[in-house]
Structure 1
Amino acid sequence: MRQFMAEVWWSSLTAAGHGGLDMLDPTERARLESLERPADRGRFLVGAVLLRVAVASHAGIAPTDVSIDRTCNECGAPHGAPRVMNPGMAAPWVSVSHSGVLVVVALSTMGPVGVDVQRIADLKDPAAAAGWVRREALFKARSGGPAAGGSVCELQAPLAGYAAAAALPANDERDVVVLNWP
């Protein structure tokens, strides 16, 4: 198992053409089928697969062996923030975000993590994009549990026209590894 502070994994809707449906569990498949818009289905599919690929890479297991729980803390439905639930594995904290054609996953072994990406053109006030993604990332990290230290840093999205940020337990951005899939 690799040791790291945090990883940020990027992908796009083009990855939906690389398959991945066979990696989803029955709950994820049901959620995918419930989404009406093709773009929403694509973002959900890529996000779910990218999360499994990132955790599998960290744990040295197959993506289909990753167990993800998405139980909502408020209503109990399977649409909540994802949590890795593999018994016997030191489960990393994870966060997923998608907007437009981009999908991003953050993973940390050191504490709660939050990530957000936003297509700037979709915001009412495009000038507020950087602040928006920072607040969203911080909110997600705080929802994951008590954060000890850490930082909120701007992420360089792989496409122009997007703002992205991560709230990470790492105090030094050099502790963050950025990866792309596929």
Structure 2
Amino acid sequence: MKKYKNKIFLIGGASSVTKSSLSFELMKKHNIIHKLGSGFIREMAKSFISKKINKHLYSHSFETNLKNPIQNLYLQSVPLKKMFRNAINRANKEGTSIIIEGVNIIPGLMEFNDIDEKILLVVKDEKRHINMLKNNTTHKLRKVDSKYFENIRAIQKELMRRAKKHKWRILDRS
């Protein structure tokens, strides 16, 4: 049980569903200073997890030839779980509010106590989603081809299934 009234948000979702944008909205609304993006945590993990040990860390969630694209995401997310847990523990210990967001925040895998809000962002409208991907302001240099877009949509579908199962709030940003 929390000692303080700090707020902890987990925000997941496939690529280009406005996770960073919603995070900044919530930071302003709740006067939250700390935010962690899972992509940057994944980058830091590469400093002690070699490509030989986990090649999945070295690609975007959707950059895979695996039959089921969620597998790549899951395999790159498992080693990050303890890092997220440690950040949550520290926030609770210090009474600090924090938002942890990113594609690696997978419902069912990232189930922790003391979370105020677990949100999965989706873009159900496929045309809107591809437009958001092409005009992404937070990842301006990332290019996604049609095969990878299909992977993103498959990942979103599976994340939605998991979010429903684990009772996460699902917000459609279409």
* TM bracket, shorter-chain basis: 0.3 to 0.5
- Name whichever structure is richer in strand by fraction: 1
- Name whichever structure is richer in helix by fraction: 2
TM-score (norm 1): 0.33
Structure with larger RCO (C-alpha < 8 A, sep 6+): 2
TM-score (norm 2): 0.34
